[in-house]
Amino acid sequence: MANRAMANSIERRSGVSLWRQIADQILHSIAIGDFAENAALPPEMALAERYGVNRHTVRSAIAALVQEGVLRAEQGRGTFVLSRKRLSYPIGRRTRFSAGLQGQASERRSVLLEATVEPASRRVADALKLARGSDVIRLEARGEADGQSVSRATSWFEARRFAGIDAAMAETGSITASLERFGVNDYLRQSTVLSARHADAADLADLDLRPGAIVLVTVAVNVTPDGQPIQFAETRFPAERVELKLSAL
Amino acid sequence: MANRAMANSIERRSGVSLWRQIADQILHSIAIGDFAENAALPPEMALAERYGVNRHTVRSAIAALVQEGVLRAEQGRGTFVLSRKRLSYPIGRRTRFSAGLQGQASERRSVLLEATVEPASRRVADALKLARGSDVIRLEARGEADGQSVSRATSWFEARRFAGIDAAMAETGSITASLERFGVNDYLRQSTVLSARHADAADLADLDLRPGAIVLVTVAVNVTPDGQPIQFAETRFPAERVELKLSAL
DNA sequence: AAAATTTGTCTATTGATATAGACAACTATA
DNA sequence: TATAGTTGTCTATATCAATAGACAAATTTT
């Protein structure tokens, strides 16, 4: 398995530097479990040969990953893997942040970054079945698991019905708990659309990523059991730290 | 919306060249519908100012997208968007390639690229509930919609039970039809795990992508209605052409 | 017809990326 | 205590990426 995963070649003149491509591949190998925690990476010379580049180029890749805290290099001994496998984030009819990561991370929370009231864009109005331009509350939140950023969500709620949900969210750190204060004791995932792209500047800052990283993006609508839309959300997940597990619903 | 989407800034010294980052952002803007088909892109000077780079850098980004067939530049007139929005590929309890894209592409088919018998790796054996090392058939197939590559799948089946499925697949061009010949009239999606990464060399060739492109990866198990696993598959989707729509199951 | 706008081409310069080789510093092992 | 294997540092050179400015070529607007 290690062979198949690391045999991937790299492309020149692609706009992505060789060291970045190699760093990405090493990161991928770790993520799919090619290296156990604390395992030694192959020596620089071996990696250079495998990828067909100079040893210094491999060193640039390793330096970047050391900087990111993924690897630790020790002179005379070798280079070692620090980071663990990806978190698996379940998505299903009842998708909840904290409950979903139970068992994978001991400490998990949702941090409210910003809350504002704004007129609904077409996209938001359509999803929540509101008139375009009517007031909605936008919440910006970051999900953290064991101190690491694992998600970054932007949510919209009807302002009239959920006035004050920002305060509830700041207090409880949970969407589920906040919605309960408004009489929503249960809600279901109506639709989820999934895509992936390179992280933009905001993602880089919020999720503590390096430029060139990939984010998984879900756009979802949550509804009450009787089908009334209550939340529209776009969530970004760092692909190198998180995978999404679509659970049978 | 155009403002928000294109206001994303770019990072220097990241290992990803500025022209590649700008090309990615333009691609993203198109994908989320910021530009209608045949709409004009802002002039090079305007884009250069927006991203804070030299006009020549923007030109490199545009040149790459012209090369990829996404844009068309006309001297004296402007630069125009050619490509359409992303396909939306439904994933649910009954995920079928051809049926899923009905209405979005007039011509769609699955092309068998390779078929071999091999011993099951641990990953495959676990998924299909077979003994490790027992024979499995591996099928490599590409999904095409209106002549464009939209998916690249690697599937495994128990060799004993599905001997000859490669021939059936070559003939019918459909997994569903092939399985019917083996008495499988219905099957369900048991699990799907989703991730994203940069395209590797094989993806680049098979899906006709440029280096640096992103692929969505699904790893799925299909089972008969009574829960017997019949197919294990890893499918790669080009993120710039496809989004995954998780349907209510 | 003239002016303004926009893409295309050229030259030149600077900084980041990649290659090449040599040797130092450190660790583990024979 | 050598010796082999590994990471760390240095110098030098070539190519790619990005900036800067000027002007040509084509199209649209005035």
Strands B242-246 and B135-145: unpaired
Task: Indicate the pLDDT class of residue A28, thresholds 50, 70 and 90.
Answer: confident
Please list, residue by residue across A94-106, b when 16 or more beta carbons sit within 10 angstroms of its beta carbon and e when fewer do: bbebbebbeebbe
Distance CA A47, CA A56 (A): 11
Q: Is the CB of A41 under 7 A from strand D?
A: yes
pLDDT digits (tens, 9 = 90+) for A34-52: 888 888 999 999 999 999 9
CA–CA dist B150, B171 (Å, integer):
21
Residues A8 and A51 in one domain: yes
B72 and B102 belong to one structural domain: no
Kindly report the bases of strand C lying within 7 A of a protein C-beta atom: 5-11, 16-21, 25-28
Straight-line distance from CA A77 to C1' C29, in Å?
12
Same-domain check for residues A93 and A51:
no
Banded model confidence at residue B236, pLDDT cuts 50, 70, 90 = very high
Give CA–CA dist B240/A174, Å, rounded: 33
Residue from A31, A4, A18 nearest A239 by CA: A31
Q: What is the mean pLDDT of residues A147-158?
A: 92
Of residues A210, A162, A199, A200, the one with CA closest to residue A182: A162
Assess whether B107 and B207 both reside in one domain. yes
Instruction: Indicate yes or no: strand C within 7 A of the C-beta of A228.
Output: no
Statement to judge: residues A126 and A238 lie in one domain: yes
Least confident of A191-200, B29-38, B139-148: B29-38
- Please say whether the beta carbons of B230 and B184 come within 8 A: yes
Q: Which structural domain, as residue segments, surrounds residue B51?
A: 2-81
CA distance A40 to B86: 41
Domain shared by B69 and B167, yes or no: no
Enter the tokens of residue B108.
């769609």
The answer, yes or no, to whether residue B109 has pLDDT greater than 90, is no
Q: Give the pLDDT confidence of A180-236 residue by residue, as tens digits.
A: 999 998 888 888 889 998 887 788 888 988 767 889 999 999 999 888 999 999 999
Same domain, residue pair B150 and B174? yes
* B176 has pLDDT over 80: yes
Tell me the average pLDDT of chain A. 86
Q: Is the CB of B195 under 7 A from strand C?
A: no
**CB of A105 under 7 A from strand D?**
no
The last residue of a domain, from among A47, A81, A115: A81
Spatial distance between the Cα atoms of A32 and A37, rounded to a whole number of angstroms? 12
Q: Which pLDDT score is estimated for B16? A: 84
B128 in the same domain as B58: no
Same domain, A68 and A151: no
Residues B51 and B118 in one domain: no
| Same domain as B68, residue B8 | yes
Evaluate whether A227 touches A216 at the Cβ level (below 8 Å): no
Count the alpha carbons within 13 Å of B207 in the hemisphere toward its beta carbon.
Answer: 28
Calculate the average pLDDT of chain B.
85
Which nt sits closest to B17, CA to C1'? D17
Query: What is the total count of domains within chain A?
Result: 2
pLDDT of residue A47: 93
Say yes or no: ipTM exceeds 0.90: no
Residue ending a domain, choose from A81, A98, A120 = A81
Give the pLDDT of residue B212. 72
Q: What percent of chain A has pLDDT over 70?
A: 92
pLDDT tier, A115 (very low <50, low <70, confident <90, very high otherwise): very high
Residue B212 Rama label (left phi>0; alpha psi -120 to 50; beta): left
| CA distance linking residue A236 with residue A238, whole number of Å | 7
Q: What is the CATH number of the domain that holds A68?
A: 1.10.10.10
Binned at pLDDT 50, 70 and 90, residue B128 comes out as very high
Q: Per-residue pLDDT averaged across A65-89, rounded?
A: 86
The pLDDT tens digits for B7-20 are: 456 777 778 889 98
**Interface touch A246/B91, C-beta < 8 Å:** yes
Q: Please identify, among B36, B66, B81, the residue that sits at the C-terminal boundary of a domain.
A: B81
| B9/A201 CB distance under 8 A | yes
Compute the count of residue pairs across chains A and B with CB atoms less than 8 Å apart: 148
